[in-house]
Chain A
C-alpha cells in the first residue's frame, strides 16, 4: 500500500512570505503528526491531528498552524517566514491516536532566503 506522501518535496521562499505544506497519510491511518528537523535542534514535534482536531501541540510560535481534512489529509502553514524556519518538515502517519507506530513521509525541504 502507498506510504505517506508529502508535497512539495522542495520549496524556496522569501522572508515574510507564507507557505503551505501537504501530507497524505497511509490509507486507513487517521492520525497525522508534523515534525521539524534542523541540524541544530534535531527532530522536534510541531502538532498532531486526529479526526480533524488538533490533539497535541509542540513549542512553536503561532505562525505555525495546521489542519486536517475529513479524508485525513493534513496541511501545515507557516506565515511570515523567517530564515530560521529553513528545515526539513516531516509528516508522520499513525493508525489512530495512541497507536504508537508512526510512519514518516519523505519530507518537504523548505529554504527561506
Chain B
C-alpha cells in the first residue's frame, strides 16, 4: 500500500522566516510527487515533481525531489501571513491518476 508521511505536523513562524516542509513516501511504481496548498476548501496545485534533483520554483516557493532517498522538500522563503495554510504532499503511481496524500503540514505565519 502506498504511503506518504509529512513532517512537521504543524509549524508556527513569523513573517520573513524561511520554512522547510518534508515529505517522505513509499510507493509502488512511482510516477510523480505533487504539492498542494489548502487554505479553506480546494487544494491548490503548487508543483509536480517527476525527476530527481531538479528544483521547481515559483516565486518564493521551491521544491525538489530525491527519488533515491524517497523524499521531497518544499521551501518557502520570506514567509507572509498569506502563506498560512495546510500544505499537502501526494504521490501518484503508474496505475492512473489516484493520488495518495500525506496528512499535511499546518503552517501558521504570524505578523
Residue ranges of B at the interface with A (Cβ–Cβ < 8 Å): 31-32, 34, 36, 41-45, 48, 50, 88, 90, 92, 94-104
Q: Is the CB of B96 within 8 A of A102?
A: no
**Nearest A-chain residue to B33, judged by Cβ:** A100
A sample of 11 more A-B contacts (CB under 8 A), given A45-B100, A104-B45, is A4-B42, A42-B104, A43-B99, A55-B96, A55-B97, A99-B97, A101-B34, A102-B99, A104-B42, A104-B44, A107-B41
CA distance A107 to B84 in the complex (A): 20
Q: Is the CB of A88 within 8 A of B96?
A: no
Q: Is the CB of A43 within 8 A of B96?
A: no
Question: Given A100-B32, A100-B48, A101-B48, do A58 and B42 touch, yes or no (CB 8 Å)?
Answer: no
CB contacts (< 8 Å) of A43 on chain B: these are: 43, 88, 90, 99, 101
**Nearest B-chain residue to A49, judged by Cβ:** B97
Cβ-based interface call for A106 (8 A): yes
CB contacts (< 8 Å) of B97 on chain A: these are: 31, 33, 48, 50, 55-56, 92, 94, 97-100, 102
CB distance from A99 to the nearest CB of B (A): 7
**Nearest A-chain residue to B2, judged by Cβ:** A45
Q: Is the CB of B98 within 8 A of A105?
A: no
CB distance from A61 to the nearest CB of B (A): 18
CB distance from A98 to the nearest CB of B (A): 7
CA distance A103 to B46 in the complex (A): 10
CB contacts (< 8 Å) of A101 on chain B: these are: 34, 45, 48
Q: Is the CB of B31 within 8 A of A100?
A: yes
CA distance A100 to B95 in the complex (A): 11
CA distance A84 to B44 in the complex (A): 26
CA distance A56 to B36 in the complex (A): 22
CB distance from B37 to the nearest CB of A (A): 11
